[in-house]
Chain A
Amino acid sequence: MDRAIQQTDYDAFSCKICAISKMYLPSSKELEFCGMRGFSELHMAYAQQLKGLNRRAYGKVQTAIRQGQPLMNYGTYLRTLIVDIECKSFLENAANENSKIQILNLGCGSDLRMLFFLNQYPQLTWIDLDFAESVSLKAKILKKNEQFRNTLGEPQGADDTEYISDRYLLKSCNLNHTQKVLDILLESSVPEVPTLVITECVLCYMDLSQSQALIDNVVSFYETGTWVSYDPIGGNEADDRFGAIMQANLWESRQLELPTLMFFNSVEKYAQRFEDETKHTQIETVWQYYIQQIPQEEKNRLKSLQFLDEIEELKLILSHYVHSKSSW
């Protein structure tokens, strides 16, 4: 089961590389507002290193690029943009020259956001946590490339399975073991420092009790923070079969389970993961985000990239993914 979850990282990364190769990413928002210079080059450099280290994962990248499904590119573009903008907005709001800030990416996989934001904010510390296999592969790739090392800071110690520098920490950790997560946080981060926590398609793979324990404990650990989450929701079973079919398809094709998909099945229910008297939660579906937040000019740019054959399908699918933000 852990392996099935770990493999989803390669799907996410492949989709991102595909969206880059078809010019969906980076958007002008990423380049200009988020300051993510070298977006394509750094992602492509990472993909090239992957080729030498994990041929199977690289095969997935190639397949994704070859298929280049417009719907997948739209969704990948939106999910990437949403989290990129949240990172930048958090950093802009929380940063001033003297005080430190932290970003904690739980279930980081091959995500490379730290490269772009560590560069811009010298007072930022970034912690990436994921399964041992993902972390060890990522550490190897990051260490191999001088450009990556320059941004992240020279790695300390001889341990090849992690990456630890003054400002960047990439460590293996099963998120189901909340105590282990807290041990790492205690050792490597400061509870008083404002912290952004990211879970991008992570909570959906965890059991109800374990995901809630993770949220509750991490939230209590930091004095102030923001939690940004992106996940699928199942929809109301009575008149919507999307979630049940998604569970069946993913189980049959790759033994991947989404234990809480039908429990946190609506935006209201999903927000309950984060709701108590101390937190303020905003949540929207990715379809709402696309309709309301993407300017017409940018929508026109997207539709010029590939013919999108089915808007109704895009709406259906994007309506089953949510973006939530909770602050405390």
Chain B
Amino acid sequence: MKLDETIALLRQGKHVSEETVFELCLRAQELLMNEANVTHVDTPVTICGDIHGQLHDLLTLFDKSGGVENNKYIFLGDFVDRGFYSLESFLLLLTYKLRYPDRVTMIRGNHETRQITKVYGFYDEIVRKYGNSNVWRYCCEVFDYLSLGAIINGRVFCVHGGLSPDVTTINQIRAIDRKQEVPHEGAMCDLLWSDPDEVSTWSLSPRGAGFLFGKNEVDQFLHTNDFELIARAHQLVMEGYKEMFDGGLVTVWSAPNYCYRCGNVAAVLRIEDTLDRNYMIFEAVPAQDDVGNAIIPSKKPQMDYFL
């Protein structure tokens, strides 16, 4: 398979054959199978938050942050669901990873599961585009191999959601058997579902999975593992990023105008060799160009407001 041709197709949002997807997923699985639960990455690297199928915004992200040809990226998960181009977004990242294996790290988000993608759009998108669910199954098998976290220069811990009461040290994450559908509870679930909040200790999450954790939990985790920052995604931030707990944790959100209706900007975070943090803010691609031609064609029925 010629990866560059597939990349060109995906960037244009064009149809990719079922056979091509099958082969891509198989090769990606072989690559991911050998990755640890927590991978090590060196600076400089750009950390990216939720993408959610917003392919055109993902292209903006690459354009504005230098591109994968010259830069390293860590994606914190939630590649699929909600947006109209989940498949193309996920496959583009996967293809980039195959093409430039040392420049792309992909961490699993809470949407990279069979159960969630059936509710939030990815499954429906595949059935709409292919007439059957085969491609969805291939992608879900890749989801099971995505890593759970990354560590930059031994100092920055990257994860999709947050901390878990079952995880004190990184070795406890290394011990997880990750190659499965995300369970409804336990360490693997919490890493993908938890949120930081102004709480004094572990608290129940309003989402129905994972926990809320506060400054105490963050400080302790940073201290125990000799980290200075937890970089996570998972929560919409209107300003694109939000630092909490005296800079010990940051939320990075990379889906501008989320779901084409939230009006937020997006951000990515570049960690320099000095571990300095540089945020790059970007806006959503408009739905139409100056003369009214659709940039983002949509066949989705509009049910997204209460009317």
Contacts and interface: CB of A to CB of B under 8 A. Distances in A.
Place the interface of chain A in its size category: 35 or more
Contacts of A76: 306
Interface stretch (A120-128, A264-272, A276-284, A303-311): A303-311
A93 interface: no
Contacts of A63: 301, 303
Contacts of B235: 310-312
Contacts of B307: 8, 11-12, 201, 256
Contacts of A70: 119
Interface string A190-219: 000000000001000000000000000000
Interface string B243-283: 00000000000000111111100000000000000000000
Contacts of B237: 312
Interface string B105-120: 0000011000110011
A252 B287 contact: yes
Place the interface of chain B in its size category: 20 to 34
Contact of B259 (A14, A240, A313): A313
Contacts of A317: 261-262
B191 interface: no
Contacts of B120: 69, 309
Contacts of B261: 242, 245-246, 249, 317
B263 A240 contact: yes
B207 A308 contact: yes
A69 B303 contact: yes
Nearest to A307: B208
Interface in A118-136: none
Contact of A299 (B81, B111, B206, B305): B206
Interface of B: 81, 110-111, 115-116, 119-120, 124, 195, 206-209, 235-238, 257-263, 287-288, 298, 301-307
10 contacts: A63-B301, A66-B124, A69-B120, A72-B306, A242-B262, A245-B261, A249-B261, A308-B207, A312-B235, A313-B236
